[in-house]
Structures are given as C-alpha cells and as structure tokens.
Amino acid sequence: MSAPHLPKVAGIDPEVPVSTHTAAPLREIPAAPGAFIQDRLAGWVSDLTTLHELTERLAATATLDAALNELLHAGAALVGARRGLLVLERAGSTTPSTTLGLGLGPADLGHLETVERSATALGRILDGPPEAADARDGIATPDLLGDQDLDPRHREVATRLGYAASYALPLASEAAGRLGGAVWFYDEPGEPSEKQRHLVGLYARYATEHLARLTELERARADIATVADELLPSRLPRIPGVRLAARHRTGPQGGGDWYDALPLPDHALGLAVGSVGGSGPSAMAAMGRLRASLRAYAVIEGEDPVAVLSDLELLLRLTEPARTATALFAYCEPAARKVVLAGAGHTPPLVLGDRRCEYVETTLSAPLGMLACWEAPSVEFSPAPGETVLLYTDGLLRRTGDAMDRAFARLHSAAASVPKAGRHDPAAVTDHVLRAMLPDGLDRSDSTEDVVVLAAHFD
C-alpha cells in the first residue's frame, strides 16, 4: 500500500525537506549604527564634497596664473595654513621657473630666496629624486625653530617672517612628472593630520595634471604669437610728414589678421590691413603669403590701389581657390596729404582730428576670392594737418561682443574721446581706442579674434 501524498502548493515541492539552518523570522528592527560610525561617514562625505568643490574651481581656471593662485589657496585651506609658496619648475626644462606667494609680499619672497635651497623642505623636493618616498608624501617640519640642525639663515628668515612650521608637497604625477612644489607655513608649531595629508595629496595630483595641460597650452599659444609676430613687420618705416603706430594681438589658435606699412618711390607710403579666413597654422601661413604678395604688387603699381587688390585677388583665386580674405590698401603721399585707397570687403578707415571724427566713405565691395573677377572703385581723400587715419580689422569690433552697428558706433565714440593732448601721437591714439573698446585688454584668453590697429598721423 502506497504512502499518502501531501497536498501540493504552487511553487513548493512538499517532499523537499526544510533546511534546519533557515534563519529565524525577524522580530525586531536592527539598531541604528553607532554615533561613531555616523560621524565617520559624515566626515567622509564632507571631505569628498570639499575636495570635489575645490577641484571644480581649479578645473574652471583657463590660465596658468589663475590655476597657480587657486592651487595655493585650496592647499592652504586643506592643510589649515595661512601662507604659502609655490614654485613651478619642471626638471630638465629650459623654461624659467615661476614663483608665487600666498600672504607673502615681494620683500618676503626676496628673504626666502636668500635661504639655500638644500636647507629647505621645498628645495629638497625640487632638487631631490622624484621617486623619493618622503617627497611623494610631503615633508612636514612641525617645529622649525626647535630644530637644532636648522640652517642659521633659515632660522633667521623664519623668525623675521613669523612662521614656526611648514609642510611641503611636490606637484607631481605619473603622467606629467614633477612640475614643481608647494610649501605652506604655520604661524605656530604643528603639522597637518593624516587625513589632511591624504586630501591635499589627492588634490595636488589632480592639480599637477591640470597645470601640465595649461603649461602646454600656454607654450603653444606663445609659439603661435611668436610666429605671427615674425610674419608681420618688425618695425614701421619712417617717412617724412607721417608718423605710424600699430598694435596687434593674435588669437590663442592663431589667426590671419595682418597689417603692413612699406615705403614706396617718391617718398610715398603704402598702408595695408587684411584678414584671411579661418584660424590656426594654415591661416597664418596664408596670411604670410598674402602679405608678401601685396608688398610686391604695391611696389610695382602702388599708385593704383585697385590694381594692387585685383592682382592679389587673381593670385588668391589661382593658388588658393578655397580661401577668402578681406584687404584694404592705401597709397599715401604725406607731402601732399593725399590718400587713395581701395577695399575688398574690409571695414572703412576712421579719420580723427581736432575738427572731425568720421568714417571714410568707401564703396561696398566683396572680399577677395568670392567673385570670378574682383573690382571696385578707389576712394581719395585728404587728411588735414594733425589728423590721424585709423585702419583696423573687424576683430576689434567682434571682440566687443556687440552687434556690428553698435560696435562701429562704439569705435567712433572711442576715437572721438581721445584727449586733445594725445591726438598728435599715433601710439596714444591706438592705446586709448583699445582701452575704450576692450576694457579687459588685448590679452583676454577667452577670445579667439585677432586684433589689428594701424594709425597714421599726418603732420
């Protein structure tokens, strides 16, 4: 006789024995973690939040100087110090070192430089092997004045400046290598805690990568600016009856804005400004070729600016059909105070004097390279004695951020506001116009526009 079968329940096999190790049912809620664990968790969250905020602020810096200042301030906050010193000095590099102080004036930095480097923790970090363990973890000197082996000159400077302890840290990472070091000074004996060292070490490694990127970026920008300067006139000619001044700023990527001033036969003068489309090395190279070609055409037929630009347009269309450019060429006879000019899609000159400030009326024309055959009539005008003719590229207008009509009005207002005492100095005129148009200066790193201003003052 077979044994009776137990009733079946969906999803459960009644013949499978119940494990004797099954946990007992939960009869009460577990107690909350202790206050100690909660405090530690809250501390970790706070530290991570602080580190995140500081690295975000550092990442927002776009220039090397801004990043170095941010690093010094953030490091001081993390280690609990009030003053600090940073030296950017890549091992094996020929680039001059950069020294920056926090809470230290030029005289204080001068005193610190009189201490032999090997006698300071920062000097041991900068001159020692990068793989040294103590250098990687930082060097703490909790009681400088109590150190019997302290260099006498270091003791004298520490007493004069009023610091009693220091903590030095390398600015190094595996990818970037060692870029330099930083040291923070304490007014009283002490040193950062283990947690502070850990946080500032994490921050310093991230900062090193950011500084390496900015260093390479600024080096590339400096190289671009150097090449652009070499492609432009090294000096302006001296022609009786006229004085010249020029200001030029290349964008961070390198652009195609240019100017030129060249002496011509019979004591004449050729003035030119222009802009090649695009940016980067290609635009700079095209700008150099265009400027060199214009100089040749100006010597051959400079008395006819239309012919000069026509020849230039033909050359551009044959050799670089995919490129466009704007240009303005003016043939000047200073003795007769006569100017004949032609423009190809370029902004009109501005004439500034004691009795007038107005744009020269030029005919509307297309840029070079846009039409099958370029041609436009020339314009002739006579600047009065003491007047200045201002040539410029549209980068000056675009850098203002205004619409073009407002930018033209702003330029007119800037030129009209030149003080009378400076209206007979072309350099003073250009500087005043630039200050009025670009209050932040020509060196703004967030602008991609080139700027060219060329002033000719007729005596």
The pLDDT tens digits of the residues spanning 348-403 come to 999 999 999 999 988 778 898 887 677 788 999 999 999 999 999 999 999 888 99
Alpha-helix residue ranges (DSSP H) falling in 162-272: 194-231
Give domain 232-458's CATH number out of 3.20.20.140, 3.90.650.10, 3.40.50.970, 3.60.40.10: 3.60.40.10
Question: Mean pLDDT across the chain, nearest whole number?
Answer: 86
Q: What would the pLDDT profile of 256-268 be if each residue is shown by its tens digit?
A: 899 999 999 999 9
Return residue ranges of the chain for CATH 3.30.450.40. Answer: 62-224
Tokens (6 digits) for 452: 């060219």
* CATH number of the domain located at residue range(s) 62-224 in this protein: 3.30.450.40
- CA end-to-end distance (rounded Å), the chain: 133
For 58-116, write each residue's pLDDT tens digit: 999 988 999 999 999 999 999 999 999 999 987 656 567 889 999 999 999 999 999 99
Structure tokens at 96: 């001059």
pLDDT of residue 23: 52
Between CA 98 and CA 56, with CA 73 as vertex, the angle to 5 degrees is 100
Is the pLDDT assigned to residue 2 strictly greater than 60?
A: no
Give bridge partners of residue 22 from the DSSP assignment. Answer: none
Residue 38's pLDDT is 72
pTM exceeds cut of 0.85: no
The Cα-based distances of 395 to 248, 271, 287 in angstroms read 10, 18, 15
pLDDT, one tens digit per residue, over 320-357 is 888 899 999 999 999 999 999 999 999 999 999 999 99
pLDDT band at 404 (very low <50, low <70, confident <90, very high): very high
